[in-house]
A = this chain, B = another copy of it.
Amino acid sequence: MLSIKRKEAILEVIKKQDVVTIQQLIDAVGASESTIRRDLIELEKEEQLTRVHGGASLQKRRHDEPSMIEKTTRNKEEKQGIAMYAAKAVQPGSCIYLDAGSTTYEMIPYLADRDLLVVTNGIQHVQTLMEYGIETYIIGGKVKPQTGALVGTKAVESLRFYRFDYAFLGMNGVALDGYTTPDPEEANVKQTAMDNSATSFVLADHTKFDQVSFAYVQAVEQAIIITSPNTDQSKVKSLEKLTTIEVSS
């Protein structure tokens, strides 16, 4: 058996059970103890699992924390709930726009295997989208150093040539005044993405409500807001004439 196949088999077993003994692997894979051991050492080096005395155990899901994004994300659970809900709104086979940012990033795992075409302006998103085997396009533009988002005239221009079934966007401010975000250049990009999308969703955790940031993006009614029950009800109320979806937890 090819060593690469064997390793895949090992990972499969371990993913099912979380922990396995060497003996179980010997039986499952049909290789000698030495070989299994060597494979485990390599897999550990590749950070696919952790070896423990007597066998091996699953590492913390590496897909859930592929980069530094993970560690620095605040309100992660809340964002994940929102992201999961948002992803469910997508019909298989659609073309969607995925805005840069941590909340939209969380959607990626839920977008796999749905025959989607994803266009994004987030450099960070690309690698993860590829890992999940999703067909990915990226718009052009200037790379914003702090965030890895694509912004500027070039970004807006390249967006003009796409049309989306759905757009998913993060926002810093959600208020009656409209959606707002700190960077005017990013605001432009978000605006254009929304204009070119049949349906737009804004993903906003509770910290974003009643906030007004520097750059205006669009009026609130231009998108459906997806938020979590953590959000103060009175704040949601004030926007209630609009379509606001509250994720149940």
Contacts and interface: CB of A to CB of B under 8 A. Distances in A.
Interface residues of A, number: 38
Main secondary structure of the interface of A (DSSP, over half): mixed
Contacts of A55: 2
Nearest to A145: B130
Contact of A140 (B54, B61, B127, B139): B139
B148 A126 contact: yes
B148 A143 contact: no
A150 interface: yes
A57 B135 CA distance: 21
Interface in A12-56: 19, 21, 52-55
Instruction: Count copies of this chain in the complex.
Output: 2
Given A127-B148, A135-B142, 4 more contacts: A2-B21, A3-B52, A126-B143, A137-B141
A138 interface: yes
B21 A63 contact: no
Interface stretch (A154-162, A163-171, A218-226): A154-162
A186 to B, nearest CB: 15
26 contacts: A2-B21, A2-B52, A2-B53, A2-B54, A2-B55, A3-B52, A3-B53, A4-B52, A4-B57, A63-B131, A123-B123, A123-B138, A130-B143, A135-B142, A136-B143, A137-B140, A137-B141, A137-B142, A137-B154, A138-B138, A138-B141, A138-B150, A140-B140, A140-B158, A154-B158, A158-B158
Interface of A: 2-5, 19, 21, 52-55, 57, 61, 63-64, 66, 123, 126-127, 129-131, 133, 135-143, 145, 148, 150, 154, 157-158, 161
